[in-house]
Amino acid sequence: MSLTLDQSEGIASASGLMRLERPLRLDSGARLDGVEIAFQTYGRLNATRSNAVLVCHALTGDQHVASTHPVTGKPGWWDRVIGPGRPLDPERHFIVCANVLGGCMGSTGPSSINPQTGQPFGLTFPVITIADMVRAQTMLIEALGIESLFCVIGGSMGGMQVLQWAADYPERVFSAVCIAATARHSAQNIAFHEVGRQAIMADPDWRGGDYTRQGARPQKGLAVARMAAHITYLSEAALQRKFGRELQRDGLSWGFDADFQVESYLRHQGSSFVDRFDANSYLYITRAMDYFDLAAPSGGVLAQAFRGLASTPFFVMSFTSDWLYPTSESRIIVRALNAAGAKASFVEIESDKGHDAFMLDEPVMYAALQGFMGATGAARGLP
């Protein structure tokens, strides 16, 4: 394991790269050897190793949850939640965030070198699942000397990982927070992902997934995929409030330039995304989300997946304007937790910001998280 210490964010933090000692066996039946997981930590592990919090990131996120992103130079995607006096406090918690298996910010994925060929994996990389991502995370957590996590927390795809952790490793999870997520991907969400994947694969520079070796990049296809997905992260109210039908300039172009501000915004989202994300990683991670169905191994009964969680405090949160993973999906999770005898709390937060609300300025969410982390911290014996 390599670690680089960093005090530039004003808190004790470290960037790490862990090479897993054991082969990683995947749900597909494939095996990956020499898997590397890139991760970031904030704070310090206490003497009893009881204050570790694992933050799980969403589809287009990465391990730079509260650090300046090395590619974009932007603040961490959840720095509103992590920091002194905030719900996840590096002065109290040892916070870990890992780039998921299949990612493109240092963890083993399709852009990594296949040790058997000396070339990038491309489409020879095996298809992965959310459970595979979590399996890799458990090996990282073990290597860090942590037997039990104080909390596993995440939103969107991060929330899926939280549910998988709780279902597969209940003895390693003291508490869990699932935000704006679902227990299985809907047909609508699979459809949106397929549009994005087809946009990437239709780009001539995709080269059958072999673009890295051939010195090409399917930037246009990936940008369109990002544009389509980004619409689902917002709400109609948010789009109307931010842009309405405002024009970019005086008058119409009478052509197909970005006449409207919302068009320019989406084009910017697409063009900036290609600088920090790998197209094949987008294919693999969206497919992992599509395959996600937590109840499937338990005969389709979600409560059975949660049967080991009777002593685990669980907090589920949703947002009123989230139409990607609506509140109805969170209620299904809560009802299953209740049926399994788990200690489940639930809050639906009034917001017009859509699915992305969990990463934006939402004081009610911060206050709810602060209360939950304080109460469970006291139960854990944390100061």
Please name which of 367, 358, 368, 366 lies closest in space to residue 319, comparing C-alpha atoms.
358
> What are the strands, taking DSSP E only, across 156-295?
176-179
Count CB-CB contacts under 10 A for residue 113. 13
Is residue 358 within 8 A of residue 318, CB to CB? The reply is: no
Which residue of the set 15, 156, 235, 321 is catalytic? 156
CA 383 remoteness from chain centre: 29
Give the 3-state secondary structure percentages of the chain, helix then strand then coil, rounded to 5.
40, 20, 45
Residue in the block written with tokens 């052509």: 255
3-class DSSP assignment, residue 358: helix
Is residue 156 annotated as a catalytic residue, yes or no?
yes
CA 99 remoteness from chain centre: 9
How does 151-190 read in b/e, with b if 16+ C-beta sit within 10 Å? bbbbbbbbbbbbbbbbbbbbebbbbbbbbbbbbbbeeebe
Count CB-CB contacts under 10 A for residue 237. 13
Is residue 355 annotated as a catalytic residue, yes or no?
yes
3-class DSSP assignment, residue 339: helix
Gap between the Cα atoms of 283 and 210, Å rounded: 13
Is residue 154 within 8 A of residue 58, CB to CB? The reply is: yes
Gap between the Cα atoms of 302 and 167, Å rounded: 10
Which residue of the set 322, 330, 351, 356 is catalytic? 322
Gap between the Cα atoms of 189 and 178, Å rounded: 18
Burial of 380 (0-12, 13-18, 19+ CB in 10 A): middle
Is residue 322 annotated as a catalytic residue, yes or no?
yes
User: Which residues, including other chains, have CB under 8 Å from residue 2's CB and lie 6 or more apart?
Assistant: 16, 17
3-class DSSP assignment, residue 288: helix
Would you please indicate which residues are annotated as catalytic (active-site) residues?
A: 156, 322, 355
